[in-house]
A and B are shown apart, each in its own frame.
Chain A
Amino acid sequence: MSGLVSAVAEKRALTFQELLFTLQRFWADRGCVLQQPYDVEVGAGTMSPDTFLRVLGPKPVRIAYAQPSRRPADGRYGENPNRLFRHTQLQVILKPPPERIQEIYLESLVAIGIDLREHDIKFEEDNWEWPVGGAWGVGWQVMMDGQEITQFTYFQQCGGMDLDPISGEITYGLERMAQFLQDVDSVYDVVWAVEPDTGRKVTYGEMQLAGEQQWSAYSFDYADVSSLWKHLEMYEKECLGLLEQAKRFEEMEPQKLMRFPVLGAYELALKCSHMFNLLDARGAISVTERVGVMARIRTLVVGVAKAYAAQSEALRSLERGSAAG
């Protein structure tokens, strides 16, 4: 029995797990390919290459995935009932955005058991941007009963480049939604799953409290600052090296071009970004230095975007060339 059906039958809200099943199923039924979360540290679903790189270029995309997102600055040692070092987003990319994208989104809320007639829903202006990625868009935060539950964005630029077609991005905050639907005061009391054989409730705390406590401690108390800087510099250096080589796509023969690790360079850039977040959350970066370091990471991330676009274009030319010949 599907999550929602059993929940409705039992007159209870979806568990965290059922919330994930239901939303993923909803978007899969509407044409999205379900991807797995990216396995390198990211601060948001947007930073996964499945969004950041796939929105570039002309190729249509319909994709959805959960994405655990690490934000060291939000770490609270598991003591704040609303803030997490790592929270889970459900990311949906629709490129190009369908005509009825807002209505479809509202249908997804119905799918997880929300009766729209019993709630106050407003689309309030909120224009997302990620300056380090040369990315920004225009859109809304969706407010339900005074709480933000979704970020809804029409991308305009990414990697400093205009997008055509644009992408519609819908990002749900899953823990927040689960807390809201289950009406619990602390995220740690959210029911993650119910064991079907024993009926035992597995809570979010059981799954994540240790992580929250220990990641916070690592980030704020144990991480070796000079080591974090060294890592950042090493990742940066390697990434720059690859980006330098990426300037010579025209000289590469097809197999080398196709295999050129733009995606590898991106992972190095992501690791730099995560090192920065750890250093920043700990206050190890002075306000003066901050601007400079962010500019360095921007060079990497935007550089990767441009290399990706160039590689894709070069591969397309090859295809066209071989098709013609």
Chain B
Amino acid sequence: MADFLFEVGLEEVPARMISSAQAELQQRMVKMLERERLVGSGAQAKSFATPRRLAVWVAGVAERQEDVAEELVGPSVKVAYKDGVATPAAVAFAKKAGIEVSALKTVTNAKGEYLAATSMKAGRGAAEVIAAELPKELAGIYWAKNMYWRTGKPERFVRPVRWMVALLGARVVPVEFGGKTAGAVTCGHRVLFGDEPIALKAPGDYEDALLGGFVIADVEARRQRIRKALDKVTREIEGARWREDLGLVDKLTQLTEWPSVLMGRFEPEFLTLPEEVLVTVMRDHQSYFAVEDKDGKLVPNFLTVLNTETDAAGKAVIRHGNETVLRARFNDARFFWEFDQRVLLVERVKLLENVTFQKELGSYAAKTERVGALAAKLSSLVVSHGTPLDAAALSEAVGLAKTDLTTELVKEFTELQGVVGGLYARTQGFEAAVATAIYDQYKPESMDDLVPRTIEGALLAIADKADTIVGMFGLGLEPTGSKDPFALRRAANGIVKVLAETKIALPLTLGDIVDAASLNETVRLRVEVFLAERLEFYLREVKGQAYDVVKAVLAAGANDVRDAVARAEAVTAVRGSADFVAVSAAFKRMKNILSQAKEKGELPKGDEGQSGDLHPTQRELTAREEEIAIGVKKMAEEREYKRALESIATLRPHVDAFFDQVMVMDPDPKIRASRLSLLTKIVSNFSGIADFSEIVVAG
């Protein structure tokens, strides 16, 4: 047994792809070794990654596979022996099994007597197996974008392969991939260590040898080093903090092999520009961290993470370079901010006629009109349900919402659309309700983002997204499998999230929105299904509800988002209770009985009545369910779903008694009808919260 180390050295891998590839390589490596019987389950493994390499270390790999005994079954004894002499069939089988004819056994099974043999399959050496299997695993790694580089296109990978290391103990395993053969030599940091090869004697040397080469191979160690350095450097300014940004830390972790941090300055006069603009430039264009004072206000400093370590002279040079670039970008931003304000947002409304939204759906002016009409309908609906809002502000916000698309600032920094519109609206004297709605219109930009802060903003966001979805579906441009070029799924996810999460609940259902968009029937149905799918996604991915709970809850209604969320939470809360489990199983049973009866045409048309000479358990069940149904109805109206479910669960003993003592499909048709009728009533009365038959009951 020995430890195994594998490293593939590459030209710089895109930062966004490294983490998943690292995990996949480790997973594939371990699975392959398990499959080939070179490690047992639960083998200890660790992986490493930098922009220039992916590596996996696995402990306790066997030097060779154990010989394995294989049980083979051959021809029937009848065919195998003729007059006591082995036939060619028997000889062939013995040969295949690699044993003498005399060593053949017989085995008896359901079909009769057969020849059998125990064949020893010789185990192969680990090096041989790894050399054969590892290239296939490498070739199977998923890359969002890959390339070929060798003439004849023999393989594709994320970037050209430059070297590989494959060591089993002290021995090199000659793995071949991408035109390279693995050895025991790796490379250090391009600049800090240079071209000199780093020879590895054993897998355990890896991390330390690379540290000597100015490479921190452990991703978490590198991340922590960056975070610590950010903290340390920020302390140069009294009371300051760097603005946390997990995504940016992640990106820079994957852009560096030997990170260090530098602080730079910019002219304080740029602080008159809105923070959103400054931070977008720093973060999205330059990958800098913003720095704030103890009150959370930006200070005229930034932090940059370097892929090197330098002396004071080097630091000065690098700082100067970064400050020069940032100054130029801030100058551009300021120029645009001032230039844009010469044409007010209201003056830009007519310009929207020349900005195309989509070829057939027309200009943004046309979209603005449609969104306005939709928002007005939704607004009336919301108000009629007793939730007040500023309809005039909403209307004004809609009218101006897209005008920032004509500004130079948004043309330069497209990620600032909406934000810039809101900022310009504020500067140009519009009331907060209008400016905030415009600012928030694209929220939530992802499932992790916040929803609009105001009702007007929420309605604008919903109307805008709904208009896009409805428009595209109407043109037959719905998302397919992996293709969603217009980000309609994201838009629909946004609608669901807004309905679920606004501070003040919006009394709107998905159906209300689809109705207000007044589509033709086929498109309407497709949009409804699409939105229901997105609700399912929200409940599973964002609310973390189990698959069966979601199915059960949506079967009872997929229209009111907040209601579905509440019901799902209630079901999840009670599903562990033994009573609830038993009742769910009973419901499944009831539904099965009913559907079988339906198939046979035996389902009673109306309520067959529960009077006359009934079995006591049937009478009891009838009385209990009627009583509970009344209570449950009231609780459901008040959305007291957990209590309602607990109440339904109290049916358990009565349902159990009924099923224990009675056959639903009694030979007497009248009795049968009355029992089927009872089940129908029960299922119907208690399926309003969730379809319990969908709940998966273990065992």
Contact = CB atoms under 8 A, between A and B. Distances in A.
Q: Do A and B bind each other?
A: yes
A180 B151 contact: no
A103 B318 contact: no
A292 to B, nearest CB: 9
11 contacts: A81-B328, A117-B314, A120-B306, A120-B318, A138-B159, A145-B317, A146-B321, A147-B321, A164-B151, A164-B152, A165-B151
Nearest to A126: B14
**Interface residues of A, dominant DSSP:** mixed
Given A156-B148, A164-B153, A118 B310 contact: yes
B304 A97 contact: no
Of A103, A146, A183, most buried by chain B (CB within 10 Å of CB) is A146
Contact of B322 (A82, A140, A145, A164): A145
A293 interface: no
B190 interface: yes
B13 to A, nearest CB: 8
Contact of A154 (B149, B153, B359): B149
B148 A166 contact: yes
Interface in A113-150: 116-125, 127, 137-138, 140, 144-147
A96 interface: yes
A164 B156 CA distance: 13
Q: Which of B16, B159, B332 has the most CB of A within 10 A?
A: B159
Interface of A: 81-82, 96-97, 99, 102-103, 106, 116-125, 127, 137-138, 140, 144-147, 154, 156, 162, 164-166, 180, 183, 185, 286-288, 291
A121 B51 CA distance: 13
Contacts of A165: 151
B437 interface: no
Interface in B330-368: 332, 354-356, 359
Interface in B116-157: 145-149, 151-153
B191 A121 contact: yes
B325 interface: yes
The 3 closest A-B pairs by CB, nearest first: A145-B321, A125-B14, A287-B356
Nearest to B255: A122
Contact of A147 (B14, B145, B256, B325): B325
B211 interface: no
B307 A120 contact: yes
Contact of A122 (B152, B307, B325): B307
B518 interface: no
B12 A145 contact: no
Nearest to B286: A146
B164 interface: no
A121 to B, nearest CB: 7
A120 B314 CA distance: 9
A116 B255 CA distance: 17
Given A106-B190, A119-B317, A138 B147 contact: yes
A138 B145 contact: yes
B156 to A, nearest CB: 10
Interface residues of B, number: 46
B38 interface: no
B16 A125 contact: yes
Given A122-B307, A124-B15, A145-B325, A288 B149 contact: no
Contacts of B314: 117-119
Nearest to A102: B11
B51 to A, nearest CB: 7
A103 B12 CA distance: 12
Nearest to B285: A146
B531 to A, nearest CB: 29
A26 to B, nearest CB: 18
B328 A82 contact: yes
B27 interface: no
Contacts of A287: 354-356
B308 interface: yes
A103 B326 CA distance: 28
B313 interface: yes
B324 interface: yes
Nearest to B262: A120
Contacts of B322: 145-146
Contacts of A121: 190-191, 307-308
Nearest to A155: B147
A118 B313 contact: yes
B269 interface: no
B320 interface: yes
Contact of B324 (A97, A102, A106, A185): A185
Given A127-B145, A140-B12, A183-B320, 10 more contacts: A118-B310, A119-B314, A120-B307, A122-B307, A125-B15, A146-B286, A146-B288, A146-B304, A154-B149, A286-B354
Max count, chain B CB within 10 A of own CB: residue among A103, A116, A123, A288: A123
A124 B159 CA distance: 13
A145 B318 contact: yes
Contacts of A116: 191
B668 interface: no
B307 to A, nearest CB: 5
Nearest to A103: B195
A92 to B, nearest CB: 17
Interface string B51-75: 1000000000000000000000000
Given A120-B318, A145-B317, A286 B191 contact: no
Interface string B205-217: 0000000000000
Given A97-B149, A102-B11, A154-B149, A119 B190 contact: no
Contacts of B255: 122, 124
Nearest to A156: B147
A185 B326 CA distance: 12
